[in-house]
Chains A and B, each alone.
Chain A
Amino acid sequence: MTEAYIYDALRTPRGKGRKDGALHEVTSVRLSALTLNALKERNNLEGHAVEDVIWGNVTQVMEQGGCLARSAVLASDLDESIPGLAINRFCASGMEAVNLAANQVRGGAGDAYIAGGVEMMGRVAMGSDGAAIAVDPSLAMETYFVPQGISADIIATEYGFTRDQADALAVESQKRAAKAWEENRFEKSVITVRDQNGLAILDRDEYMRPQTDMQSLGALNPSFQMMGEQMPGFDKVAMLKYPHLERINHIHHAGNSSGIVDGAAAVLIGNKEFGEKHGLKPRARIRSTAKIGTDPTIMLTGPVPVTEKILAESGMAFSDIDLFEVNEAFASVVLRFMQAFDADPDKVNVNGGSIAMGHPLGATGAIIIGTLLDELERQDKQVGLATLCIASGMGAATIIERV
């Protein structure tokens, strides 16, 4: 079978997803186009160099609607013969773009693809595209719908994670992210976002709070307790689904959940011939991809079964993986992953994650693949696995191997 290789991976810095965030003035289309242009420049992608741009994005309304992928291509310097496909698998959209592109290449449908994604969470509010699963009574009741924060708290309750454990993970994420920036570990990936005149807007993740400690986190109130216990009472719904639970332990808050940010990322994927033709050296091969559907109420446990699935399909053992990126949507998601596999914390999210730097929904999946690859190279390790939990009960994973 044809192999799919990663030739390049880059991302924008992540801006705070609110009015005073540095990227708030930048449109989704422009940030996407900037990212695509950076990839084009770095790799000399003239003409119909790639078959398609597969662009992950979750809230596909308003400026992010109308097939954002195509708008981004047209706004970029890429050739208009390259089409554009907008896809949505919630938080794994960026990863799904990469996986889909890799599998197209492996299957022979074109030599190369650009895959990635964008989310301007400060400009297009999460949830503003509606969602039947939350609002359609038949579906909501049938699936025992609760919001993600409640799901994260259910994981904590079911698997016995305390607030302290979650806060400690958050503090560690901040520390690792700070250190990574200090040591310029993101140097290869992070591009500077510039305006139409070439003036720099942002060159560094701005969401981080390196001073975070247990004490400062301890002062934060749980975010989902009200909606769980009082109005409208999601805990009752949770306990209908999990009748062995007496109550839900609400441990998550703004400090140990992923940050709301703006950002984009892109990965260049192609077969061997593509690299030879463009004089590019492959950095890693995409060894395996996987996705899975899981219980939609606890919702965010997908990384465990999808990791089991991808390992089984690749004929690998957990111990064959050198490094892991497990998206820090909520602290309990990562805690559960480490608990299930008895993982060495030093190998998981080495440079921090979404709790420290933020989680631009449609882009994160592509971001963490790039981060994983950078770190494998830095440590001179071979194999890495990236995985994300996904809304409505799904999981996705990618295994990459340096070549």
Chain B
Amino acid sequence: MAEFTLTKDADGVATITWDVPGKTMNVMSFTGLEELEACIDEALADDAVKGIVITSGKEGSFAGGMDLNLLAVMKEQAGDDPAKGLFEGTMKMHALLRKIELAGMDPKSKKGGKPIAAALPGTAAGIGLELPLATHRIFVSDNPKAKYGLPEILVGIFPGAGGTTRLAKKLGAVAAAPLLLEGKMLDAQKAKGASIVDEVAADPVAAAREWVLNAKDADLVKPWDTKGYKMPGGAPYHPAGFMNFVGASAMVHGKTQGAFPAAKALLSAVYEGALVDFDTALKIEARWFTNVLMNPSSGAMIRSLFLNKEALEKGAVRPKDVPDQRVKKLGVLGAGMMGAGIALVSAQAGMEVVLIDRDQESADRGKAYTETYLDKGIKRGKVTAEKKEAMLGLVTATPDLEQLKGCDLIIEAVFEDPKVKAEMTQKVEAIIPEDCIFASNTSTLPITGLAEASKRPEQFIGIHFFSPVEKMLLVEIIKGEKTEDRAVAKALDYVRQIRKTPIVVNDARFFYCNRCIIPYGNEAARMVTEGVAPVLIDNAARQLGFPVGPIQLGDETSIDLAAKITRATKEAMGNDYPASEADNLVFWMEAEGRLGRKAKAGYFDYDEKGKRIGYWKGIHDKYPLADEQPDLIEVQERLMFVQALEAVRALEESVIEDIREADVGAILAWGFAPWSGGPLSWLDIIGAPYAAQRCDELTEKFGPRFTCPPLLREMAEKGQTFYGRFNPGAKDAA
């Protein structure tokens, strides 16, 4: 079955309909490109055709973009010279879109072309918008849910099918910047306001037909194809444009901390393209696009942030034979910050929620969190009053455990104390249905141990949220020793309902995420005790793409929590505990009352409003700054390896069963260097042999925590990569 079909009518309008069989939304494939070209050629060649309308056969959408798997295929198919393959493939795409844009017009007089309009029934992203941008006019439906934009930058690439050049030349660098650099998606009206689309119509196909039948020669000529074209806002060496371009580089550099090659390549394509004619600009765009695709970072980002994230959300690791476990009625135990957040996101997903706390007042406070959140949404015009009422109606705040009757999932989010949790488990299990799944939102206590309090340990599971619940995208699901498949399926179906990304891990100290985050904070603290400047440590992390540095993170998560975890770990591990001066630093700061942001004193000094005013210099009374500061690279390697090696150990110990979860989880849970695609992708990028060698060197210099894990050593010897060796996803495809 064809992806693009051409029909012609008596009025002389040829309609090209994009409708990829078996997909809810169109994505562009090689076949698609060939078929589109064939349709265009036929319509342009047919004298009976007066105008062409390109539309979609999908209700409510035009196209979601390029099939991102194709980029990898293009690279592979190019054999020994992948850059050549990518460049030529991209240029072919440009040629097709340019053919649409010029529509058979006489190259000199610009006359005699056939009007081509795009009629978009809804959402158009990536090449789904780049194709319309090459037509002469874009009509979109008034569908309020539809979004239009070029979000490529979010997965580490940039619009490479002319979207970059066309938007920059059409809108100017400043107006195009939020669309290209931030990947902003706009609704129909805003898209029209931003001049990305031309008209909003109830029936875009009819409007497009009408337009192509009446369009004049001049309507078909793009500004950049006319003599005297000037870039809006000024080209780079125009006085106004100069300031914009100077500013753009600085802003992008500061914002991305230099950690995202795609942003730099995009800006270069815009700048270099602005200095030349349109066709040369497309060639430049293709060269930079190829450059980004050749950078291992883009492949890793696409793999983790798009393909694997989506696979996990769609149930890649869900037990296959368990029927639908979607939650209807949820019980949340504990209406503190986590419980309140869980209630909020669950009600948002349309679940009935019973929010329990020890007294009515506390329970109400938890529910008020949802109300405040919705009020903010109303103020920003994102939520309606009806929606607010409906959502609040779903949440019952009460101290009465009897209300939990009829729940099919319980999430316990009470105080992080095994005794308190055990007591709650037993009390609640006496009330809830036999088949209700019981989950604990613990972040530190092993699930197997907590499950001992349960009379149904096979229905007991960990669902670990991150704070703040409504913002954080990841949920870590922990299987205890006795947890059975139905509980896993329940947790996964629930996470899917609240539209977050799940990873499923086996029970072990700190599960997966905290297991990696804690050593990260610890390594930073160790460096402070060695006399490394705290600002250097934070900047080193930021330049790796971490949203906040580990020192600042320490203040955000609080020093007393770090002290508490340290004490608990020490107690649990006994003689095996790898004590360090970092522990003393944390205990000392705790004793000094420098508990972090909440105390307005921690690694930072704060003003009265709690705004950071600078690093606390008093820390150097105890840990003087070293005269010789380490190289940035050394600080960065310590921070990266200490996390990545923990991920490898988690894999060795089968805490992680599917490497995709290690990578996706790390980026979404704690912002692990997104450009790398995650800790295991990072090790693949630098290569196991180099990683093993650096481990040895770091061990020698800094201690056994950098010891190369046997798995990594073996991979280094065999020249393997994680994604080559473990080949995740192969079994889903099978």
The interface of chain A, by Cβ under 8 A from chain B, is 127-128, 130, 134-138, 140-141, 144-146, 231-234, 236-237, 239-240, 243-247
Contact = CB atoms under 8 A, between A and B. Distances in A.
Contacts of B252: 137, 141
Interface string B152-173: 0000000000000000000000
B707 interface: no
A134 B242 CA distance: 9
A377 to B, nearest CB: 44
B326 to A, nearest CB: 45
B254 A240 contact: yes
A240 B258 contact: yes
B246 A140 contact: yes
A244 B627 CA distance: 12
B236 A135 contact: yes
Overall SS of chain B's interface: helix
A274 to B, nearest CB: 43
B237 interface: yes
A124 to B, nearest CB: 13
Interface stretch (B431-439, B468-476, B532-540): B532-540
Interface centre among A146, A237, A243, A246 (most CB of B within 10 A): A243
Given A240-B254, A244-B535, A245-B535, A137 B264 contact: yes
B378 interface: no
A243 B543 contact: yes
Nearest to A145: B249
B535 A246 contact: yes
Q: How large is the interface on B (under 10, 10 to 19, 20 to 34, 35 or more residues)?
A: 20 to 34
Contacts of B237: 130, 135
Contact of A234 (B250, B258, B535, B536): B250
A128 B267 CA distance: 22
Interface in B216-260: 236-237, 239, 242, 245-255, 257-258
Interface string B523-561: 000000000010110011001000000000000000000
B245 A135 contact: yes
A10 B251 CA distance: 45
Nearest to B539: A243
Contacts of B249: 135-137, 140-141, 145
B242 A141 contact: no
A245 B632 CA distance: 12
Interface string B627-658: 00100100000000000000000000000000
A249 B246 CA distance: 22
Contacts of A144: 253
B247 A231 contact: yes
A368 B246 CA distance: 32
Contacts of A247: 614
A141 B253 contact: yes
B249 to A, nearest CB: 4
Interface of B: 236-237, 239, 242, 245-255, 257-258, 264, 267-268, 270-272, 533, 535-536, 539-540, 543, 614-615, 629, 632
Nearest to A135: B245
Given A135-B271, A137-B252, A243 B264 contact: no
B539 A236 contact: no
A166 to B, nearest CB: 22
A146 B536 CA distance: 20
Nearest to B549: A243
Given A137-B264, A233-B250, A233-B254, A243 B271 contact: no
A240 B257 contact: yes
Give the 9 A-B residue pairs with the shortest CB-CB distance, closest first: A236-B254, A243-B539, A232-B247, A137-B267, A140-B249, A232-B250, A246-B535, A135-B245, A130-B237
Given A141-B264, A243-B543, A134 B535 contact: no
Contacts of A141: 249, 252-253, 258, 264
Nearest to B272: A136
A240 B250 contact: no
Contacts of B236: 130, 135-136
Nearest to A136: B271
Contact of B535 (A130, A135, A243): A243
B242 A135 contact: yes
B250 A244 contact: no
Given A130-B242, A244-B629, A246-B615, A232 B248 contact: yes
Nearest to A137: B267
A243 B250 contact: no
Contacts of B239: 128
A245 B250 CA distance: 17
B248 A137 contact: yes
A231 B614 CA distance: 21
11 contacts: A130-B236, A134-B246, A138-B264, A141-B249, A232-B247, A232-B254, A236-B250, A237-B254, A244-B533, A244-B536, A246-B614
A294 to B, nearest CB: 19
Given A134-B242, A137-B264, 11 more contacts: A127-B242, A130-B237, A135-B242, A135-B271, A137-B268, A141-B264, A145-B250, A232-B246, A236-B254, A237-B250, A240-B254
A234 B250 CA distance: 6
B524 to A, nearest CB: 14
Interface centre among A135, A231, A239 (most CB of B within 10 A): A135
A397 B35 CA distance: 67
B248 A138 contact: no
Interface centre among B245, B248, B249, B535 (most CB of A within 10 A): B249
A237 to B, nearest CB: 5
A136 B268 contact: yes
B551 to A, nearest CB: 11
Nearest to A147: B246
A130 B241 CA distance: 11
A127 B271 CA distance: 18
Nearest to B251: A232
A128 to B, nearest CB: 7
Contacts of B535: 243-246
A211 B161 CA distance: 63
Contacts of A137: 245, 248-249, 252, 264, 267-268, 270-271
